[in-house]
Amino acid sequence: MPAPFVTTAVGPTALQPREDAATAHRMARSAASTTGAQLSTEAFSHWLRKRRSAHRFHVDRIPFDALQGWSFEEDTGNLVHRSGRFFSVEGLHVTHEQATPRQWHQPIIKQPEIGILGILVKEFDGVLHFLMQAKMEPGNRNLLQLSPTVQATRSNYTKVHQGADVKYIDYFVRPGKGRVLADVLQSEHGSWFLHKSNRNMIVEAVGDVPLDEDFCWLTLGQIGQLLHRDNVVNMDSRTVLACAPFPDTATGALHSDTELLSWITAERSRHDVSTRRVPLDALPGWQRSEESIDHEHGRYFRVVAVSVQAGSREVSGWTQPLFEPYGPGVAAFLTRRIDGALHILVHARVEGGFLDTVELGPTVQYTPHNYAHLYGDERPAYLDEVLAAGPDRIHYEALHSEEGGRFLNAESRYLLVEADETTAPLDAPAGYRWVTPGQLTSLVRHGHYVNVQARTLLACLRASGAAA
């Protein structure tokens, strides 16, 4: 006879509720507030201009042999840093049985270190405010954008840089300085990064927080206003914001959560994708010159190098490689209200660098040069519906930059476009499903479900006021 389970009383206060609905509602309250307690949105524009002029930023293209600390490894041709840290540019061979073409080669960024993208929050006048940073990134066209409180690779904050301390990092790596509201490893661009994850964190500060001059406190509503402007809120901010808990006000969904998870499982099971790292100098179809690595047909993206002069970063100047895509991308969710509940059409996407084969992406995620190899001559599904949509169907539209620390002039037009039964039936085709923002919010609590472009759109959706 096995021993019975007995009860050991430890004290009336040891347990806590598993879910904290209050935090989600505090997020919604912050999203509804466009009046910042610390800085009005108008004053923010002035402040951002001031930060821009306070620092000298200069980015120049340079040939590879002017890179300092970076070189092409002798036996592989991989572009690596002498410290062995930061990241490297290597080659990848992808085989995808269900795609046309079935296989391809490409350069890819390998960055095994998990960085922290963290936003510190704090209540002022009973409303959560987010501590945002004016941060220069060499790849952004306008250089300076609004970033999370902390945006640091492990090399950054363990000082492989030998630069200054990362400000506010203690709130994210030392227990007791704050209360974690969200903390999840999320993927980044699966077409450019191999298995990259960053830790997306939102931490509520305990006690007073000193305000550095490159930082400001904004409500979620104010950040939502800024998300309607082109190239202000950087990618790292957008992905962290998407991970915020948020109330689900819908009364139901077209598919139950179990059906949704089952569909994702089926999508992951039906794609045979295998990837193999290969030397960068043995990549069929890619050529290296003194200044760039290009595809033979001038497509997809190029690998280039830049030198950076800046006053507001951890170090005052450096050189580094960047990926430069050809032309802006388009990332859009088609939306529909079903019995009053907003739904968005997600696409189960295969990208060569994903850890787990498939993640949910926007309905349309299309950068003509980068994705041509995935879809061949086939015009991507729903692209025409998005491009042809009149203003009466466009709920949201803005241009945003992708990660400016790795990508040069990588911009995408992000859209939310209303569809109807003719253009986008509820009985979605293979690879597509209608989900609610609440379902997407549940999925982003976990990694490897929602890709970085869809996370940007989730943040934009909340900024549009439609998700509440």
Candidate residues 43, 266, 282, 315; the one interacting with a copy of itself per rule CB under 8 A: 266
What are the tokens at 233? 């809120």
Shortest distance, position 124 Cβ to a copy of itself, whole Å: 23
CA atoms within 13 A on the CB side of 241: 36
Chosen residue from 68, 265, 289, 316 binding a copy of itself by CB under 8 A: 265
**Interior/surface letters 185-211, b for 16+ CB within 10 angstroms, e for the rest:** ebbbbbbbbbbbbbbbbbbbbeeebee
Minimum Å distance from CB 224 to a copy of itself? 12
| Min separation Cβ 276 and a copy of itself, Å | 9
Scan residues 274-313 and list those touching a copy of itself (CB under 8 A): 274
Provide the greatest CA pair distance for the chain: 77
Judge whether 359 and 446 are in contact, CB under 8 Å: no
CA-to-CA distance for 309 and 138, rounded, in angstroms?
A: 9
Shortest approach of a copy of itself to residue 447 CB, angstroms? 7
Neighbours of 2 (CB within 10 A): 4
Task: Identify which range of 65-73, 156-164, 216-224, 387-395 contacts a copy of itself by CB under 8 A.
Answer: 387-395
Label residue 184 left, alpha or beta by phi (over 0 means left) and psi (-120 to 50 means alpha): beta
- Could you say whether residue 10 binds a copy of itself (CB under 8 A)? yes
CB of 266 to a copy of itself, least distance (A): 7
Kindly state whether residue 5 participates in binding a copy of itself, applying the rule CB under 8 A. yes
Q: Which is nearer to a copy of itself, 265 or 287 (CB)?
A: 265
Residues in the interface with a copy of itself (CB under 8 A) total 80
Type of residue found at 113: E
The interface region with a copy of itself, picked from 29-37, 208-216, 290-298, 331-339 by CB under 8 A, is: 331-339
Span 156-185, contacts to a copy of itself by CB under 8 A: 180-185
Angle between the 235-242 and 452-463 helix axes, to the nearest 10 degrees? Answer: 70
Chain-centre distance for alpha carbon 287: 29
Minimum Å gap between C-beta 257 and a copy of itself is 5
Binding positions for a copy of itself, 14-53, rule CB under 8 A: 14-20, 23
The CB-of-424 to a copy of itself minimum distance in angstroms stands at 11
Cβ-based nearer residue to a copy of itself, 312 or 436:
436
Contact 254, 343 (CB under 8 A): yes
Among 304, 447, 451, 455, binds a copy of itself (CB under 8 A): 447
- Per-position b or e across 90-129, b if 16+ CB within 10 A of its CB: bbbbbebeebeeeebbbbbbbbebebbbbbbbbeeeebbb
We find the least distance from the C-beta atom of residue 112 to a copy of itself, in angstroms, to be: 6
The C-alpha atoms of residue 288 and residue 282 are separated, in whole angstroms, by: 11
Q: Is position 58 an interface residue for a copy of itself (rule: CB under 8 A)?
A: no
Q: Are 401 and 410 in contact (CB under 8 A)?
A: yes
Report whether 215 contacts 131 (CB < 8 A).
yes
Q: Which of residues 62-101 bind a copy of itself (CB under 8 A)?
A: none
Query: Does residue 150 bind a copy of itself (CB under 8 A)?
Result: no
Q: Which of residues 339-378 bind a copy of itself (CB under 8 A)?
A: 339-342, 355-356
φ and ψ at residue 77, rounded to 5 degrees: 75, 5
Of residues 27, 253, 330, 408, which one binds a copy of itself by CB under 8 A?
A: 253
Which residues, numbered 184-223, are part of the site for a copy of itself (CB under 8 A)? 184-185, 197, 199, 201
Integer Cα distance of 202 and 184 in angstroms? 10
Site for a copy of itself in 412-441 (CB under 8 A): 418, 420-421, 426, 436, 438-439
Residue closer to a copy of itself, measured from CB, 170 or 418: 418
Selected from 98, 100, 262, 316, the binder of a copy of itself by CB under 8 A is 262
- DSSP-assigned states of every residue in 77-98: --EEETTS-S-EEEEEEEEETT
Closest CB to a copy of itself among 313 and 395?
395
Q: Which is nearer to a copy of itself, 408 or 454 (CB)?
A: 454
